[in-house]
Chains A and B, each alone.
Chain A
Amino acid sequence: MTSVDTAPTTSIERIAVAFVAALRQVGIDVPVGSALRYHEALSTIGVNSRTSVYWAGRATLVHDPEAIGIYDYVFAAFWEAKAVVLDTIGVIDEQEVMLAVEDEDADDDAEELGEETDLPVITLRYSRHELLGGKDFSDYDDAELDEAQRLMQRMAVVGGRRPSRRRVPTRHTGGRPDLARTVRRALRSGGEPIERRFTTHGDRLRRVVFLLDVSGSMETYARALARFVQAAVAGRRRVEVFTLGTRLTRVTRELSGRNPDRALTQATDAVQDWSGGTRLGESLRVFNDEWGQRGMARGATVVLLSDGWDRGAPEVMAEQMGRLHRIAHKVIWVNPLKASPGYEPLAQGMAAALPYVDRFIEGHCLDSLEVLAELLAEKGAPA
């Protein structure tokens, strides 16, 4: 690095650090390595031209297309000192109200649990499971939701396995010869390949994609189902989660932390239309366009958790479900309303989607989610 002139270098350093701090403030995760690289980039390219400073930051600090918009805000605010824009950044935190509500909930839970821990724990859980097993999620109180979450975490939500292209050693003879191991064994016998080794196909977990409807009509169920999905994400890799509502939001990252409460609050923050209107078909279209068709849904098990109420045109729904069905391995629709006595899939969206659904199951209680977990694992029953 050129150390001819220390003063400007220092000022570039300060600028870099301050800008990174501004980005972190609005929630962009900037690792130290990236910050260092940003400083290097600024030193190389100089801070004289607006565009090169802009692109230096884009190349070093942004690692996702989703972050570009926020970066642009912060950049404008930082370099052009636009007070108006700074206000807009504040608005990104507007979900704080929600966050406070969640905290209150958590406190309530803690208090109630505090009272109940006087009881012997095992009896409590056991009886709770019996009690909760068939109880409708919409009748849950907060403590029950909490208990249900613990039970969900114990359900092993594991996707089915599919053959992989990766090869693994096998004890069986036949298959493709494993030359590497054969040669190594041959060394022990003076170069004579007496013992031959083979490889076979490995297998790997099938990707599971959850599409969770968080629109108004689903509100009573969405929170419980979100906890189920969160348990699935925490349990293993190769799970993706999106929320459907007025728009599509990817929440895998928010749900992947080990702390379920924080993860849920974060996911609620990320989803701005929790309990908004419903445009299921349209959200599905966005999913197919942006993610599904490119490969995320290819060969995957796709699970829709929704009541099928859609304000959009049923043709859109049918078209998009058709697309999804053509690329996915299996489409499972979990509808909490299905359990209601005399339920008929009359909701237009639901009726339009049904021809493209491989399994249509209920999802209103713990027992039904256990059925879902078994379906995902693809044990026995053919789809």
Chain B
Amino acid sequence: MGFVEPENVEDVGAGLTAQGYFASEGLATAMFLAMSLRRPLFLEGEPGVGKTELAKSLATWTGGQLIRLQCYEGLDAAQAVYEWDYTRQLLHLRTAEASGRASSTAEGELEDELYDERFLVKRPLLQAVSEGHDVPPVLLIDEVDRADDEFEAFLLEVLSDYAVTVPEIGRFSADVPPRVIITSNRTRDVHDALKRRCLYHWVNHPDFELEVTIVASRTTGACETLVRQVAAAAEEFRSVGLYKPPGVAESIDWADALARLGATELTADTIQATLGAVLKYREDQERVTDNDMAALIQRVMARAG
């Protein structure tokens, strides 16, 4: 078939890079294995390290449709798998009644009509395994730890067989299995049964050079000096034990904010003015501003080179 099928790890790295996603070698290897073994990829890591972004880049690279399921507490089968279109079903019954068919048709037959595929509302999980996809769709199950554990049971069949059973109709099974990416912020442990079906990767903050590359490619108008300094400062912030150390997403926002203000390098004033883009807790901001700012800038300069 005519869709992207990487032959080795480098293919994956290059394919994602072309979409502006710079994956570490470990992540590229895990992604490659997930694609060639047709297994879901389970990503855990700090917020803002690019877990969700990977799915988006994968979709644009492979040309597969991105189907996203954002998890939240109380998420149930009706929103995740499928739901019957009850309003239309009721209308159908009324029509049958008005035309006098309701009394002449056997109850079983009328029921069969109701549970027909045209009354079925497909939600993300069913969409991913049913529609006539030419290219494997990318199914992103985002922040699965936010859903309650009952929900994980719905995922098991989908993830091991790439199939969904609708009791009234039968089994939907994917011709081309979707590429599944599951993300979690680890607010609770996901059930082992779910993890066992997946390949696992813990996403770390990128190292300095990788972060420079990422920030440079995602911001417009920030000069290289500034980008290197932002990456160095972000690395510094991550090492001093803040409540919420900045992720790459924050570094990008910060570089953008600095560039908008026309800054070409970090100074005490520009940091003060834009700190809100990178540190989101008052205590964190105080820890940075109350400490020796000059020393901080000096360390950042030295690291940025």
Contact B33 A56 (CB under 8 A): yes
Provide the residues of chain A in CB contact with B83, threshold 8 Å: 180
Asked whether A166 and B90 contact (CB < 8 A) given A59-B29, A183-B84, A295-B145, the answer is no
Q: Residue A9 at the B interface, CB < 8 A?
A: no
Give the residue of B25, B33, B87, B199 whose beta carbon is less than 8 angstroms from that of A179: B87
Q: In the complex, which of the residues A40, A52, A68, A182 has the most CB atoms of chain B within 10 Å of its own CB atom?
A: A52
Chain A residue nearest in CB terms to B204? A65
Q: Mark B138-150, 1 if CB is under 8 A from A, else 0.
A: 0000000110111
| Across-interface contacts of B146 in A (CB, < 8 A) | 295
Known: A45-B8, A183-B89, A183-B114. 8 other contacts (CB 8 A): A37-B199, A55-B25, A60-B200, A63-B200, A166-B150, A167-B76, A191-B102, A237-B149
B90 CB to nearest chain A CB (Å): 6
Closest 3 CB pairs of A and B: A295-B187, A165-B74, A191-B93
- 1/0 per residue, CB under 8 A from A, across B65-97: the answer is 000000011101010000110110110011011
Q: Does B275 contact A (CB under 8 A)?
A: no
Q: Which partner residue on chain A sits nearest B41 by CB separation?
A: A59
Cβ-based interface call for B107 (8 A): yes
B-chain residues with CB within 8 Å of residue A41 when the two chains form the complex? 33, 37, 199
Evaluate whether A37 and B39 lie within 8 angstroms (CB atoms) in the complex, with A60-B199, A166-B74, A191-B97 already known: yes
Distance (Å) between the CB of B74 and the closest chain A CB?
Answer: 3
Using an 8 Å CB-CB cutoff, how does the interface string of A28-42 with B read, 1 for contact, 0 for none? 000101100100110
CB contacts (< 8 Å) of A190 on chain B: these are 93, 97, 102-103
B14 within 8 A of A: no
Interface SS majority for chain A? helix
Identify which of B25, B26, B29, B84 contacts A45 (C-beta below 8 A). B29
Answer yes or no: A51 CB below 8 A from chain B CBs: yes
A164:B73 contact, CB within 8 angstroms: yes
Nearest-CB residue, chain A, relative to B24: A55
Quick one: closest B residue to A41, CB to CB?
Answer: B33
Contact partners of B47 in chain A: CB under 8 A:
294
Known: A180-B84, A183-B84, A191-B93. A59 touches B114 (CB 8 A): no
Among residues of A, the one whose C-beta sits closest to the C-beta of B34 is A59
Query: Residues of A contacting B72 with CB < 8 Å?
Result: 165
Chain A residue nearest to B201 (CB atoms) is: A59
A204 within 8 A of B: yes
6 contacts between A and B (CB under 8 A): A62-B200, A166-B76, A180-B86, A183-B93, A191-B110, A295-B145
| Max count, chain A CB within 10 A of own CB: residue among B34, B94, B145, B200 | B200
**A155 vs B256: C-alpha distance in the bound complex, in angstroms?**
57
Q: How far is the CA of A285 from the CA of B29 in the complex (A)?
A: 34
Q: Mark A144-175, 1 if CB is under 8 A from B, else 0.
A: 00000000000000000000111100000000
Contact A58 B107 (CB under 8 A): no
Pick the contact of A191: B44, B96, B186, B192 (CB < 8 A). B96
Q: How far is the CA of A86 from the CA of B148 in the complex (A)?
A: 41
Instruction: Assess the B86–A294 pair: CB atoms within 8 A.
Output: no
Q: Does B49 lie at the interface of the complex (its beta carbon under 8 Å from any beta carbon of A)?
A: no
CB < 8 Å neighbour of A51 from B25, B73, B202: B25
